[in-house]
Homo-oligomer: A and B are copies of this chain.
Amino acid sequence: MAVTLKDVAQRAGVSRSAVSRAFTDGASVSEKMRKKVEKAAAELGYSPNALASSLTTGRTKLIGLVSNNFHNPVFLEVFDLFTRGLQEKGLRPLLVNLTDETDPENSVRMLRQYSVDGVVVASSTLSPGFAEAFREAGVPVVHSFGRQTSTPGVHVVGIDNIECGRMAARELVARGYRSVAFLGGPKTATSTQDRHEGFMSELKKHPDIRVGQSFASAYSFEAGRHEMQRLLQGELAEGYFCGDDVLSIGVLSALQDAGRKVPQDVGIIGLNDMEMAGWQNINLTTIRQPIPEIILASLELMEAMLSNPDRHPEARIFPCTIVERGTLRPRP
């Protein structure tokens, strides 16, 4: 069935080594030999077995792409960019869907069995410990969209979520909202915690402004909608910082159903600037997270680690900016 090195060697009448060398660039082979081998290989339709070679070289060019965000549409963009970026570098993404588990143990074992060269953890909700489990297992790892810590055990690429919380708070204050609230994702997500913390700390400076807080059960449309429906049974704040765009969109839909006008009755600011936020029937004012830059940097770090696994862990934090659309009232 499958054509092997040996078949090509026989056909070309040369040694197996010669064939192997003809297919690795930088190897010591004469032009004549290479031509001869390539001819035989082409005739047989041979292409080298990447896994067999990985046995001796120790490199598979497989990269584990681990995520648990399969319900937030922004992650389709993330997967698109990651897979394309990896492919361009000659690497192959082995996808791991963590949706129903948060324990690193299984994933670590699985990815080690497949000898991945490295792992990208793409998640804003997993704890730093998750990524660190890979490092402890000796696997190069980058945590994208992760939380930076004072003693980083692994490379982290993302944004300063605390600062984003502050930024949202400042923006609401500057626009004259006198009662504001944080509406976050699940409390267990590190990104929720940080955005919450930043939001609250900024508002401590304004004791005259009323502050509320509440948490949706997931980063999803339904969860956002549901949480706002719950809030609608009491008294609403004037302005909300939603911990994520998809959450914001759920919130908007609940407000619309209840006949509340945005931004006249209630203001909403999201976070991410996913493609959909710009859709004109949504038109969400939001804090832009520079996703392409984050992914590019993650891939850069990954590539750097492949050539130097002992590289010192580093946090790359990108600045966020406010994208003005139609869900906050204008500055006075």
Contacts and interface: CB of A to CB of B under 8 A. Distances in A.
Contacts of A80: 70-71, 97, 99
Contacts of A84: 97, 99-100
B253 A50 contact: no
Contact of A253 (B48, B49, B249, B279): B279
B71 A73 contact: no
A236 interface: no
Contacts of A55: 51-52, 55
Interface string A73-95: 10111011001100100001111
Contacts of A275: 221
Interface in A96-138: 96-97, 99-100, 109-110, 112-115, 138
A83 B93 CA distance: 13
A65 interface: yes
A276 B221 contact: yes
A47 B256 contact: no
A115 B221 contact: no
Nearest to A87: B97
A27 to B, nearest CB: 18
Given A65-B95, A97-B87, A114-B92, A279 B70 contact: no
B47 A112 contact: yes
A116 to B, nearest CB: 10
A60 interface: yes
A49 B249 contact: no
Most chain B beta-carbon contacts within 10 A, residue among A87, A94, A250, A252: A87
A51 B114 contact: yes
A289 to B, nearest CB: 18
Copies per complex? 2
Contacts of A97: 79-80, 83-84, 87
A320 interface: no
A80 B100 CA distance: 11
Contacts of A62: 94, 114
A46 to B, nearest CB: 10
Given A51-B55, A93-B94, A280-B256, A70 B60 contact: no
A282 interface: yes
A51 B54 contact: yes
Contacts of A51: 51, 54-55, 60, 114-115
Interface of A: 1-2, 47-52, 54-55, 60, 62, 65, 70-71, 73, 75-77, 79-80, 83-84, 87, 92-97, 99-100, 109-110, 112-115, 138, 221, 225, 249-250, 252-254, 256-257, 275-276, 279-282
Given A92-B110, A221-B276, 14 more contacts: A47-B113, A50-B114, A70-B76, A73-B73, A76-B79, A79-B95, A83-B95, A87-B97, A92-B94, A93-B95, A94-B95, A225-B279, A249-B281, A256-B280
10 tightest A-B CB contacts, nearest first: A70-B80, A83-B97, A50-B113, A253-B281, A253-B280, A76-B76, A73-B73, A51-B51, A93-B95, A95-B95
